[in-house]
Structure 1
């Protein structure tokens, strides 16, 4: 036996029966992000069920084929799903597919594509973002017009796409009528319409309407469909609703490094979420927990809510000296530190006990600060 083989055999013997121990307290939850949550058990079961044997790689598998049927059931018979790894990849690749090289995207200044994607839409996709200030994260046709101009001017990137987020980064919702008005206005200007739907399930659950009512039927051309924030391990999809508006996705997904070789495991997660009502159960519960948190703090002196709580996020300002003591027990982010504004996000696994304990601590810290 060679030295290398002997070492390998010894390591195998030493590690026989060894399993990885949990490195965190599985009973502890916070309010920093729905990305902090684990994976829903039904999604884990779907991954296990998709394991074993061989399936064709790069999307030519039974699970990705089934996903097409699932997505068409939600978004219409012309829809096509392109599974990807993450939301930034979905947004970058989707926007790239609906724009020429000289194109620009009009979006809210608070949009994830502008604030939280490391410049990827501009660095990787090679497009220009034209941002608009909003009070609640929502665009209107009038706000779009602040940047939708200069058509035919060779000195200006051409505003040829509109991107909105549903639900927004501020936890607010567009109604189907509002999205229809935006789509009609954008299309009238020659723009394609993209929806960043990292929390699309939270929006549908809150509005109580099918996805199609505020996407396909509202004139949206392409959607980044979220899964990770709603119980998946790491699964998103680009959903092309209007194939006439999107070109080359089959190629750009690859050169944007979003083409999974073992795609069946990404698709299986999305099937688990969207074939039945798991997406709705998870999102509806997260929304309900946010509403419970807001109600629990509604009468606390010095706690002022800065946005409507329409999905699974609560935005509020706190008295001086309160946020940091709270964070010693519960993680959450400052949204605007200068205003002492914080963001509390609820997840599919947030419990009523989590809400009640956190609300009690907020009350205690506010009282101590006074």
Structure 2
């Protein structure tokens, strides 16, 4: 008992020594460094016992125990770490305690270059290994270049998987329902198209597609009402938060709130009949990555709000309201290139600081 008490004191002291504060509309918040020493961390996922998983874009997956001990897991799928590609998102499904399964997205080498892929694996904690690893889905006709893989995962209320796929730098492809580029997909846990998908009976469209007309969605989350939200990179201006609806076309590159990097205009303007409008857009771009719809009890006044990480301006955006508006920029020396943001089981908010190679917990 004395040993366990001493160990707890050491652990708590270690976390406290790394704690900082941040001013917010909720008062002074505590930022606690939960793990560090990562190289280009991309995503995190919580396990039921308090441990969590962290992906590194270069192709490594780590398990971090409650005491901060990091263990590199073996058995990770072979990834192509090229440009923005590599090992990307991780999803721990709701039935993990029974299934021991996790899902990963990654850039997979293909004959024409690479493409976004989804793998399912069983986590063997005793041997620190992923077992029964299987690529359940990969986009067809992968392309060259290391851009716009999308790759966020979300588990729907019904248990299906939603997957974002960027346009891979090929703008017109986002309007071609015969390609996966620039779309959000809905698939079963074996990779097959989910029942009820909008284009199952359309011979000109791919059956996995749920929505289209996206540029590079790198954040996605369901809110407490079961609505799906996604955030995507614009070009020079025009980063968008979108409320994702079945079968809808979100316009890229026909309409956009931004310009090409060259300064030239994009498409036909900002509106067109039949194409969806964003709930919010940024100009100039903030380079968004990671989106979380908050539903916890630690910050009751933030329930229902959307949180988005900024890679460019090093802050966390809090958005709210019927006309979704950025109400607050949560910023500190720890919010350096916020790559991912998640709600923890206790209602605290965790985020990845890519430049610091660290995971932080935001709490009251």
Say which structure is richer in helix. Answer: 1
TM-score normalised over the length of structure 2: 0.26
TM-score normalised over the length of structure 1: 0.26
Say which structure is richer in strand. Answer: 2
